[in-house]
């Protein structure tokens, strides 16, 4: 990109540099925290969204000194090399190793034009990472070309990208020669690159040292080793990673890689291995780009002779080494002409041959019979003997020893393949993670890069999986084969440990498989030019027959059955009639008769939702930072025979959720979301009645008519009742409370627009509420239920409030759910409709209505008779839903006097009257209102709606698209054809690492048009895709509109490999073999250009 904003981060979480909460910086003994020069980006390629931040040291607040302007003699050098320097924008399409998915920036430069069709760009390894990426390079004349990874070094911080130089139209194709011998102390250099995400910045420096050990960056598994770095005070910052360090001849003598946070120090990688790899690739153009790279699984450090003497190195040995290094037969490094020290063993991996033969502090004298004083000599020997043995001569406390150690292939220790399961990403534990946490590379297990929906509650990020479903996991193949035997929805055991806590004891967790939304798949790496990944879906293994045979064999041999295979606890395996012999389960005994009566009608609800599919509600800050969204609430059984439970829209905010019910602290079963009230805080769930058959589950009594035929009195302020609440740990509690108020609450708006309660009377208590919700009842063993207490969502917060039973009955009546006996013909909830009001009321006192709105004394007397409990208020229209049935019929500020000729003072009365007049007729209902102090009659059409919530969505280039939610219209957003409820393509989540993320589409908003195709629905989008109009298009013009109605257009580059078009939809199927009850289920399908 041309420009950018922001400053480098102080965490080294490469390559994205995302901040890690609680991370402690590391240092190498110098007291200076290191950072890599990577710039996280949120701008569109080719332009800047905002001005860069002031020059600071990564937000610490230490002013940076102004850069020194290079002399005029550098002008020719700059002019010659700038055409070869590019700004690189990288998109990590999946989280991998240390980095999450996302977009970041760096620098690179052309190093080979030998084959213009496969020209090569050199940059840092932490820029191109080791996982799947998409990359664009911006050249000097603002030309932008795709670049592709060819080589990532397994250890050193460099990698190579490939591009087609023939596609350059304005920028002359030039390369910068590599000259590692030019790296000398005192050399004047320029660091030219994308510093601080600026397109080109030129920073002068003088090489201060060339024998620095590899810097240790803060909180990242990847650390370079066994090479020299050069140091200089160039004061580079984020985005400059991969910049060439250019001398006066115009040659690159080192590669900029990182620096200190609290100083101007910068660290440059020496180019010995870069030249080796580049030469090998040129000499082997037809072979996979994997030049031999070897390791002893040992980290060496360069230490001065004084330090060696402290470790037992003798004066005589020092004299011999110096004499041999000065002889003509010893190779001399341009960077270290005369060694000031030697290489010593710093550490090695456990259970390796090096652990058996070497000790920390051993001084390396010779490798393969030749003096080995510097890293380049050691690495040359290692790379030449991959798979063989390397003889070493070492000095241990002055005693010289000879050992021979196997040279391991470094490429085999770096993961590239990965698997996706239940929203998680997994790959083999890498060499660098093993090195950081001292883990053997043999049978090292599988690394949790992203735990996702399925594993998120049990396995933390950075965990290492050692077993799945009773099978040992040594590598990714074991992991995939074990998961292939787990069916969708099945719970299986995972054995794991967390190396970040220094606790190596294995833990065991139960994880639930989800193949519906996230098919189990494997991504295979192919070391081609360029590198590619190939996806393969892993189908469930056919294990039913073998499992049945194993179960029979176990029973025949008398062995104990495993979990999930043997008889249920408490049963006799020889019983033929379990229900007859089994002692029935019951609820916990309680001395409180109120709890004993109420607990059979309550259950605890646990809901799990994936972040990427959180479409219908606002996440709290804690939920946004968590692995997945988990909410707890209380369910109230309204029909025990059919297994129907009601809860609130905070606990179950949308249909796409995994819901579990727990009864009596002893039985947990799945539940399905059957109906979400389109206007009120009510959700109907269904569970399998057979799962709770041992428990005496009861329906709540919602009768509002007493046994003697009189109506039950409504809640009164000051009334003393018992509040029975349920807690997150399934405990019940009861306390005596006093009713504080009953009123029509105005709930705050959420941003972006999401469901909010309106037109519902609630009750509050004068006492502090504890628990997740519950019921307000008359005390004793026979008291009636007076109110249902639930959690009400309010943006990022939520509150507990009560719904009086008469109000709740009005909500359940249209659904045929009145508690107690089931209706003869149960209403199919998935197609049920309820009355809805396309306006919002607020309470207005009689005094204000008379003084400011001109309400007459006659209407005042009439409405007074409808009020109760000392409340004297009338309803005023505070908001009309844009485009709804009431739009242009009612207006904000109207005072409602009558509906269908009946005086009304409460919203439930209006809903009841509209429901009665909407049955069997489509005629409008007359409303009498006061508008501008004049009485006015409006003919209002009744409105009915079906279940709310997203039941169909499409992922298109990383945009999670769904029909426009009604909350947008209720909020009063822009009124367009595509913004009407149920129409258009609305989004507020963008997948990190997707094309939409790469090219900076802004959420929330609407996708209005793709190229010349206007889109008003999901069906239209899929029709365009199937028509083949988008097939083979390198760029798509995406026209979007934000929540303010502001249109924008972005050109995005589709990625059908990693980001195909995926549709998730909910279907309703009837269980023909059982009760005929409809069971909704989700279906995933991919759509491709035909």
For 1031-1054, the three-class secondary structure string (H helix, E strand, C coil) is CCCCCEEEEEEECCCCEEEEEECC
Give the least confident one: 124-138, 367-381, 869-883, 930-944: 869-883
pLDDT score at 829: 78
Question: Which residues 6+ apart lie within 8 Å of 790 measured at CB?
Answer: 633, 634, 647, 648, 650, 651, 681, 773, 800, 801, 802, 803
pLDDT score at 707: 53
pLDDT score at 553: 46
Interval 846-898: pLDDT, tens: 999 999 999 999 999 999 888 877 778 999 999 998 888 898 899 999 999 99
Site of tokens 């969502």: 793
pLDDT score at 709: 52
pLDDT score at 921: 64
1067: pLDDT confidence band, cut at 50, 70 and 90? confident
Interval 173-225: pLDDT, tens: 999 999 999 999 999 999 998 866 667 788 899 999 999 999 988 778 899 99
pLDDT score at 201: 83
Range with the largest mean pLDDT of 193-197, 539-543, 644-648: 644-648
Interval 446-459: pLDDT, tens: 999 999 999 988 89
pLDDT score at 502: 74
User: How far apart are the C-alpha atoms of 807 and 20, rounded to whole Å?
Assistant: 48
Interval 414-461: pLDDT, tens: 999 999 999 999 999 999 999 999 999 998 999 999 999 999 888 988
User: How far apart are the C-alpha atoms of 297 and 756, rounded to whole Å?
Assistant: 59
User: How far apart are the C-alpha atoms of 285 and 279, rounded to whole Å?
Assistant: 10
Interval 220-270: pLDDT, tens: 889 999 999 999 987 777 778 899 999 999 999 999 998 877 777 889 999
Question: What are the phi and psi torsion angles at 435 (to 5°)?
Answer: -65, -45
**% of the chain at pLDDT higher than 70:** 84
561: pLDDT confidence band, cut at 50, 70 and 90? very low
pLDDT score at 708: 52
Question: Which residues 6+ apart lie within 8 Å of 95 measured at CB?
Answer: 101, 131, 425, 449, 450, 993
SS3 628: coil
Residue 41: is its pLDDT beyond 60?
Answer: no
Interval 483-538: pLDDT, tens: 999 999 899 999 999 998 877 889 999 999 999 899 999 999 999 899 999 999 98
Question: Which residues 6+ apart lie within 8 Å of 762 measured at CB?
Answer: 742, 743, 744, 745, 792, 801, 802, 803
pLDDT score at 654: 95
* C-alpha separations of 863 from 195, 928, 939 in Å: 72, 13, 21
Interval 300-353: pLDDT, tens: 999 999 999 999 999 999 888 888 776 644 444 444 455 689 999 999 999 999
Q: Which pTM value belongs to this model?
A: 0.86
Residue 717: is its pLDDT beyond 80?
Answer: yes
Average model confidence (pLDDT) across the chain: 84
User: How far apart are the C-alpha atoms of 677 and 529, rounded to whole Å?
Assistant: 55
pLDDT score at 58: 35
Interval 655-696: pLDDT, tens: 999 999 999 989 999 999 999 999 999 999 999 999 998 889
19: pLDDT confidence band, cut at 50, 70 and 90? very low
Mean pLDDT of 1055-1068: 92
Q: Report the DSSP pairing between strands 252-260 and 266-269.
A: antiparallel
């Amino acid at each position: 990109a041309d420009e950018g904003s922001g400053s480098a981060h102080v965490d080294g979480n490469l390559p994205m540099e995302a901040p890690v909460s609680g991370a402690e910086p590391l240092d190498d003994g110098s007291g200076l925290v290191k950072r890599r020069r990577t710039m996280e980006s949120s701008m569109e390629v080719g332009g800047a969204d905002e001005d860069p931040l002031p020059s600071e040291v990564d937000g610490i607040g230490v002013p940076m000194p102004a850069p020194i302007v290079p002399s005029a003699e550098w002008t020719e050098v700059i002019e010659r090399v700038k055409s070869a320097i590019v700004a690189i924008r990288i998109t990590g399409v999946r989280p991998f190793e240390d980095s999450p998915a996302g977009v970041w920036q760096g620098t690179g430069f052309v190093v080979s034009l030998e084959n213009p069709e496969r020209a090569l760009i050199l940059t840092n390894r932490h820029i191109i990472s080791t996982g799947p990426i998409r990359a664009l390079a911006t050249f000097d004349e603002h030309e932008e070309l795709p670049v592709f990874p060819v080589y990532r070094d397994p250890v050193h911080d460099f990698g190579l990208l490939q591009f087609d130089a023939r596609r350059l139209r304005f920028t002359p194709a030039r390369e910068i020669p590599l000259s590692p011998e030019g790296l000398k102390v005192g050399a004047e250099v320029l660091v030219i690159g994308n510093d601080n995400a600026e397109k080109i910045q030129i920073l002068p420096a003088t090489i201060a040292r060339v024998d620095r050990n590899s810097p240790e960056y803060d909180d990242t598994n990847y650390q370079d080793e066994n090479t020299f770095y050069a140091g200089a005070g160039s004061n580079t910052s984020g985005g400059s990673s991969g910049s060439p360090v250019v001398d006066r001849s115009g040659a690159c003598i080192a590669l900029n890689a990182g620096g200190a946070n609290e100083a101007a120090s910068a660290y440059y990688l020496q180019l010995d291995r870069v030249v080796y790899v580049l030469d090998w690739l040129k000499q082997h153009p037809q072979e996979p780009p994997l030049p031999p790279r070897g390791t002893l699984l040992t980290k060496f450090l360069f230490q001065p002779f004084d330090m060696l003497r402290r470790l037992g190195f003798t004066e005589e040995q020092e004299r011999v080494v110096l004499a041999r290094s000065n002889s003509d037969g010893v190779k001399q490094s341009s960077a270290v002409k005369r060694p000031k020290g030697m290489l010593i063993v710093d550490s090695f991996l456990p259970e390796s041959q090096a652990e058996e033969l070497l000790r920390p502090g051993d001084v390396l004298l010779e490798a393969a019979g030749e003096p080995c004083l510097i890293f380049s000599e050691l690495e040359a020997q290692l790379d030449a003997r991959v798979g063989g043995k390397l003889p070493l001569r070492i000095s241990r406390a002055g005693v010289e020893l000879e050992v021979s150690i196997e040279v391991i292939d470094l490429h085999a220790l770096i993961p590239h393949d990965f698997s996706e399961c239940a929203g998680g990403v997994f790959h083999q534990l890498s060499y660098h993670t093993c090195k950081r946490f001292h883990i053997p590379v043999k049978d090292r297990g599988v690394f949790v890069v992203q735990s996702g929906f399925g594993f998120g509650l049990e396995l933390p990020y950075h965990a290492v999986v050692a077993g799945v479903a009773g099978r040992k996991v040594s590598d990714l193949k074991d992991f995939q084969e074990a998961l292939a035997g787990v069916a969708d929805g099945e719970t299986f055991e995972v054995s794991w440990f967390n190396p970040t806590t220094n606790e190596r004891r294995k833990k065991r967790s139960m994880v639930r498989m989800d193949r519906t939304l996230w098919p189990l798949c494997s991504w295979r790496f192919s070391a081609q030019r360029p590198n590619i990944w190939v996806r393969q879906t892993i189908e469930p293994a056919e294990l039913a027959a073998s499992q049945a045979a194993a179960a029979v064999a176990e029973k025949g041999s008398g062995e104990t059955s495993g979990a999930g295979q043997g008889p249920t606890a408490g049963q006799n395996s020889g019983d033929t009639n379990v229900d007859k012999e089994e002692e029935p389960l019951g609820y916990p005994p309680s001395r409180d008769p109120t709890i004993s009566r109420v607990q059979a009608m309550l259950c605890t609800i646990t809901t799990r939702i994936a972040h990427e599919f959180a479409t219908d509600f606002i996440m709290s800050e804690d939920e946004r930072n968590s692995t997945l969204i988990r909410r707890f609430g209380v369910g109230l059984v309204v029909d025990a025979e059919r297994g129907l439970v009601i809860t609130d829209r905070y606990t179950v905010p949308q249909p796409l959720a995994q819901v579990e019910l727990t009864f009596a602290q002893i039985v947990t079963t799945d539940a399905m979301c059957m109906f979400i009230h389109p206007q009120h805080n009510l959700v109907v769930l269904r569970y399998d009645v057979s799962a709770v058959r041992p428990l005496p589950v009861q329906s709540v009594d919602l009768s509002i008519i007493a046994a003697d035929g009189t109506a039950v009195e409504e809640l009164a302020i000051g009334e003393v009742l018992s509040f029975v609440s349920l807690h997150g740990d399934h405990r019940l509690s009861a306390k005596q409370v006093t009713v504080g108020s009953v009123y029509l609450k105005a709930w705050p708006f959420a941003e972006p627009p999401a469901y909010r309660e309106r037109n519902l009377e609630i009750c509050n208590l004068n006492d502090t509420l504890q628990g997740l919700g519950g019921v307000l009842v008359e005390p004793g063993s026979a008291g009636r239920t007076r109110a249902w207490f639930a959690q009400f969502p309010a943006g990022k917060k939520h509150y507990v409030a009560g719904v009086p039973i008469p109000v709740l009955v009005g909500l359940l009546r249209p659904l045929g759910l009145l508690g107690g006996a089931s209706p003869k013909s149960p209403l199919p909830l998935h197609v049920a409709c309820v009355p809805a009001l396309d306006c919002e009321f607020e309470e207005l006192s009689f005094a204000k209505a008379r003084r400011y709105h001109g309400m007459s004394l006659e209407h005042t007397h009439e409405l007074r008779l409808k009020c109760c409990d000392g409340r004297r208020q009338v309803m005023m229209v505070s908001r009309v839903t844009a485009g709804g049935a009431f739009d242009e019929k009612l207006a904000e500020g109207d005072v409602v006097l009558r509906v269908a000729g009946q005086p009304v003072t409460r919203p439930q009365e209006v809903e009841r009257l509209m429901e009665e007049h909407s049955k069997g007729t489509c005629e409008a209902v007359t409303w009498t209102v006061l508008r501008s102090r004049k009485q006015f009659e409006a003919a209002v059409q009744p409105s009915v709606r079906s279940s709310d919530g997203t039941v169909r969505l499409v992922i298109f280039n990383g945009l999670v698209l769904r029909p426009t939610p009604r909350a947008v219209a209720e909020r009063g957003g822009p009124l367009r054809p595509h913004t009407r409820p149920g129409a258009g393509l609305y989004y507020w989540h963008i997948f990190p690492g997707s094309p939409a993320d790469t090219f900076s589409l802004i959420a929330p908003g609407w996708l209005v048009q793709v190229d010349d195709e206007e889109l008003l629905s999901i069906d239209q989008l899929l029709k365009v895709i199937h028509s083949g109009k988008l097939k083979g298009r390198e760029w798509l013009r995406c026209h979007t509109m934000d929540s303010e109605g502001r249109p924008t257009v972005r050109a995005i580059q589709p990625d059908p490999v990693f980001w195909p078009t995926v549709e998730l939809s909910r279907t309703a199927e009837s269980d023909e073999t059982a009760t005929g009850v409809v069971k909704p289920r989700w279906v995933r399908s991919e759509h491709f250009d035909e």
